[in-house]
Amino acid sequence: MPEYCVTGGTGLIASYLVKTLLEKGYTVRTTVRDPGDVGKVGFLWEFNGAKERLKIMKADLTIEGSFDEAVQGVDGVFHTASPVIVPQDDNIKAKYRDDVQQVSPLNESHWSDPEYCKRHNLWYAFAKTLSEKEAWRIAKESGMDLVVVNPSYVVGPLLTPQPTSTLSLILAIIKGDRGAYPNLMIGFVHIDDVIAAHILAMEEKKATGRLICSSSVAHWSQIIEMLRAKYPSYPFENKCSNEKGDNNPHSMDTTKIAQLGFPPFKTLDQMFDDCIRSFQEKGFL
């Protein structure tokens, strides 16, 4: 059986990838910044097959060459770890987002405009756009077989001990802890579909280039309206933030991944129901 490396193993997408690959019988290496931090990485050892086929290895994106050992000799790499550069107090600070995903409007030919992102402080999209472009440059120069899955906002059951960035935002909105919900129009996608898309990208020889992975597009106000009707006991945020630049109406064209045999995406109801149920089961709601 093949052996794969999954970077950023404690992130939302990465941890589900590790779990799924182990269930499929693969040997898996995953990287984290501190393999000895049981509080953060211990849940990975609970996956079926982990004790026999999982290796947790130390790597840090800010240290040149720290991933060399983890990727040496594997059959493929699922690279989900990525830093996000955020200006703060006139300084540039790197913040890790192990579950970062690129949000690309329309189809695979479209990219976020870095200058637009900087103008509107959209550093999440800015960082991912630059890192993906650099990945394609390196792939072209080295002859690397690269396929990029571009998921939208990932929603689904909580797997990690604590909610990761995307799920923690959902939890804060449900509990009314944030002060306002984002003025954001975005595609949403179930974590199950994201993992299936990654596996497809690795195993399907016909998969090439970029693959948009997204279900419905909605504004956060629409999501809250939908959830409030189903879960009226939760307070939810009532106020929309005054952020600008990331609320443009758009749609996502998933024709390319569908032509590879990818099934219909799960609905908004399914992904948010699964997410909220997991919050309830783990005592966060």
Checking if the pLDDT of 117 tops 90, the result is no
Any idea which architecture 101-281 has in CATH? Answer: 3-Layer(aba) Sandwich (3.40)
Q: Once rounded to an integer, what is the mean pLDDT over residues 32-45?
A: 95
Q: Which of 106-120, 178-192, 230-244 has the lowest mean pLDDT?
A: 106-120
Q: Which of 221, 82, 75 is nearest to 150 (CA)?
A: 82
Helices (H) then strands (E): counts for the chain: 11, 11
The tens digit of pLDDT for each residue in 241-283 reads 988 767 778 889 999 999 999 999 999 999 999 999 999 999 9
pLDDT attached to residue 104? 44
**Please, are residues 186 and 218 in contact by the beta-carbon 8 Å criterion?**
yes
Q: What confidence score (pLDDT) does residue 120 get?
A: 80
Reply yes or no on whether the pLDDT at 209 is more than 80. Answer: yes
Cβ count within 10 A of residue 5: 24
Enter the DSSP assignment of 185: E
pLDDT (average), residues 139-143:
94
Q: How do strand 153-155 and strand 185-190 relate by DSSP bridges? A: parallel
Q: 1-81: what fold?
A: Rossmann fold (3.40.50)
- Strand-pairing partners, residue 58, are 32
pLDDT-derived band of residue 87, with 50, 70 and 90 as boundaries? very low
The pLDDT-based confidence of 89 (bands split at 50, 70, 90) is very low
pLDDT tens digits, 218-227? 999 999 999 9
Q: Residues 136-141: what's their mean pLDDT?
A: 94
Q: Can you give the pLDDT at residue 102?
A: 41
The SS3 call for residue 35 is coil
- pLDDT at position 245: 67
Q: pLDDT averaged over the chain?
A: 89
| Residues 106-113, mean pLDDT to the nearest whole number | 84
What average pLDDT does range 4-13 have in this prediction?
94
pLDDT of residue 211: 95
Q: What pLDDT shows up at residue 232?
A: 97
Q: How confident is the model at residue 84 (pLDDT cuts 50, 70, 90)?
A: low
How much is the pLDDT for 83? 63
Section 33-43 average pLDDT: 94
**What sign results for the dihedral spanned by CA atoms 130, 136, 140, 142?**
positive
Q: What is the mean pLDDT of residues 57-65?
A: 91
* 72: confidence class by pLDDT, cuts 50, 70, 90: very high
Residue 273 structure tokens: 């129901």
> In angstroms, what is the C-alpha Rg of the chain?
19
Residue 56: exposure state from Cβ atoms within 10 A (0-12, 13-18, ≥19): buried
CA 196 – CA 88 distance, rounded (Å)? 36
pLDDT tens per residue, range 179-192: 999 998 899 999 99
Bigger pLDDT: 191 or 122?
Answer: 191
Burial class (CB in 10 A: 0-12, 13-18, 19+), 52: exposed
Domain limits, CATH 3.40.50.720, in the chain: 1-81, 101-281
